[in-house]
């Protein structure tokens, strides 16, 4: 059994695909590398053919999108750990060895750092999925560096792979389903940068930023549907349609106040920056009910909001 199955879904990415392929082929360790091309016509297939003797499996045929392509590869996956690497992403040198070094027998997911770079390979930021002190806090403070999140392949198959109804936030949905179903006790974190995420004008996260935001908050709306949420939050979420997700999995015995407090913290910051003081006050009440703020921070925010109100008057 290989240590890893890495899947690259691709469509017309001739300018990026070679770096992606080489970043996988140059890894140490036993890797099953699968490339699922959606019928490229720009020369991508020629690049794949250049390396086909070193690739475990590849195909070029029409598909229904990125999630469908990844699930096609997942059916063939037999590595211990699984991840997908989009054509404009790269693994860092020794990434897979670093994953194996931190994983124990109990590990179901390994989470590392993801470096965001521009087209000149200059670093923009380093981030990734952050594990907080509870599932509720991790969900509410959602962040993701998908190319640096490695799941046990057997686990992904148990979760039925990716949701093919999602086109932007399939990684978010998978992360949520994992956390709600399994908790976070089996996650191993590593402080190494495992991947590089290319930010460019044609990438989904840039070209379709509004659609991605809609899908993201639609997923949050599905998560919060089990709760009686405050009016201010319901008003915000009503702007987003719930996508076709498995809502039965999204229902869990979670601490509502902790979950909402962590989620609304980010809305509070945004409202404060915009000077929307009534909205700030309503969101502040939600945040202070949970454990997102320390006692000192609660005092600071009360003072901050009072000062802003007095200045407006």
Look at residue 211 in the predicted model and tell me its pLDDT: 93
pLDDT at 194: 98
State the Cα angle at 242 between 221 and 68, rounded to 5°.
120
For domain 4-207, give the CATH number: 3.90.550.10
Which helix H or strand E contains 271, and what residues bound it? helix 256-274
Q: Which residues of the chain have pLDDT under 70?
A: 203-207, 309-313
Per-residue pLDDT, 312:
53
| pLDDT tens-place string over residues 147-169 | 999 999 999 999 999 999 999 99
Which run of H or of E encompasses 23?
A: helix 17-25
How remote is the C-alpha of 5 from its chain's centroid? 18
Residue where the block lists tokens 């989470």:
111
The sign one gets for the Cα dihedral 209, 233, 290, 312 is positive
What is the rounded distance in angstroms from the CA atom of residue 31 to the CA atom of residue 258? 40
- Record the pTM: 0.94
pLDDT tens-digit profile of 219-232? 999 999 999 999 99
CA separation, residue 20 to residues 25, 51, 65 (Å):
9, 12, 19
% the chain with pLDDT above 90: 88
pLDDT of residue 203: 67
Beta bridge partners of 82: 5, 151
Domain ranges of the chain: 4-207
State the Rg of the chain over Cα.
21
């Amino acid at each position: 059994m290989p240590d890893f199955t890495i899947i690259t879904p691709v469509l017309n990415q001739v300018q990026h695909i070679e770096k992606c392929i080489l970043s996988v082929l140059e890894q140490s360790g036993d890797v099953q590398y699968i490339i699922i091309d959606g019928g490229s016509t720009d020369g991508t297939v020629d690049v794949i053919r250049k390396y086909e003797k070193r690739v475990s499996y590849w195909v070029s045929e029409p598909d229904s999108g990125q999630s469908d392509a990844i699930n096609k590869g997942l059916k063939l996956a037999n590595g211990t750990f699984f991840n997908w690497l989009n054509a404009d992403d790269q693994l860092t040198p020794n990434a897979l060895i670093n994953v194996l070094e931190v994983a124990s027998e109990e590990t179901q997911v390994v989470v590392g750092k993801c470096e965001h770079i521009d087209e000149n390979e200059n670093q923009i930021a380093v981030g990734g999925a952050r594990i907080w002190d509870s599932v509720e806090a991790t969900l509410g403070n959602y962040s993701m560096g998908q190319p640096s999140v490695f799941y046990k392949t057997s686990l992904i198959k148990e979760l039925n792979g990716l949701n093919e109804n999602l086109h932007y936030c399939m990684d978010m949905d998978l992360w949520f389903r994992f956390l709600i179903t399994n908790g976070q006790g089996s996650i191993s974190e590593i402080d190494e940068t495992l991947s590089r995420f290319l930010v460019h004008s044609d990438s989904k996260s840039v070209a379709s930023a509004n659609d991605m935001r809609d899908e993201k908050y639609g997923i949050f709306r599905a998560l919060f549907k089990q709760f009686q949420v405050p009016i201010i939050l319901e008003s915000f979420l009503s702007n987003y349609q719930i996508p076709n997700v498995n809502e039965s999995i999204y229902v869990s015995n979670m601490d509502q106040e902790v979950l909402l407090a962590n989620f609304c913290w980010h809305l509070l910051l945004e409202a404060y920056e915009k000077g929307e003081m009534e909205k700030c006050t309503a969101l502040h009440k939600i945040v202070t009910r949970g454990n997102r703020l320390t006692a000192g921070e609660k005092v600071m925010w009360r003072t901050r909001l009072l000062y802003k109100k007095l200045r407006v008057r």
